[in-house]
Amino acid sequence: MARIRSSETSPERALRSALWRLGHRYRLYSKRLAGKPDIVFGRRRVVVFIDGCFWHGCPDHYVPPRSRSDYWSAKLKINTERDARRTVELEQLGWRVVRIWECEVELELDRAVARIVAAIENDGWKPEPRWVVVSVTPLRGERERRTLRTSRAPYAEKVETRFRSFRRQGVSSRQRAC
């Protein structure tokens, strides 16, 4: 995935400057770590990924493209499985992994910052459960069946049928990035 680094987009910059103001010093974008996390707090062993809603299957904003649905559905599966695998790899190496949806950064910046700070500061920190859309099957009558999975053990899955969303494909500037 030729991911274009969009660290200069304003939501991410706002997130970084909020963390900086709180006194948390980080490195950006470590190539040496699995999945190339966006923000790395080396001493505290915390990595942060800011996941674009489209590419990583945000339950609120993933809308499958209307054309080439087999291609997009395979792509979503690859991306979400890779995210889950890399999260586990990093956790096995002793990193705390915080995955934040890009929409959270754009819409709930304070909450996103609080989640990161909790991982840095709280000794008993545990990752929050997170649901990810892993597949969407179009059904007749403008309906669709979505499968969502939790991205960490204990894994859980749920299937829901709903009307297809006509919302634009999310809020993400990163949609164009890979």
Shorter beta-carbon distance to Zn ion: residue 16 or 61: 61
| Cα(61)–Cα(168) distance, integer angstroms | 8
SS3 93: coil
Size of site (CB under 5 A) for Zn ion: 6
| Burial class of residue 164 (count of CB atoms within 10 Å of its CB; 0-12, 13-18, 19+) | middle
Q: Which is nearer to Zn ion, 58 or 120 (CB)?
A: 58
| Nearest residue (CB) to Zn ion, 116 versus 120 | 116
- Confirm if 79 and 1 have CB atoms less than 8 A apart: yes
**Piece of the chain touching Zn ion by CB under 5 A; list 84-92, 96-104, 110-118, 120-128:** 96-104
**Site track for Zn ion across 98-117, x = CB under 5 A:** ---x-x--------------
What is the smallest separation between the CB atom of 9 and Zn ion, expressed in angstroms? 15
Distance from C-alpha of 51 to C-alpha of 53, rounded to nearest angstrom: 6
**Is residue 61 part of the contact set for Zn ion (CB under 5 A)?**
yes
**Using the rule CB under 5 A, is 53 a contact of Zn ion?**
yes
153-162 LR contacts (CB < 8 Å, sep 24+): 158/131
Report d(CA 112, CA 106) in Å as an integer: 9
Closest to Zn ion by CB, 35 vs 170, is 170
Binding site for Zn ion (CB under 5 A): 53, 58, 60-61, 101, 103
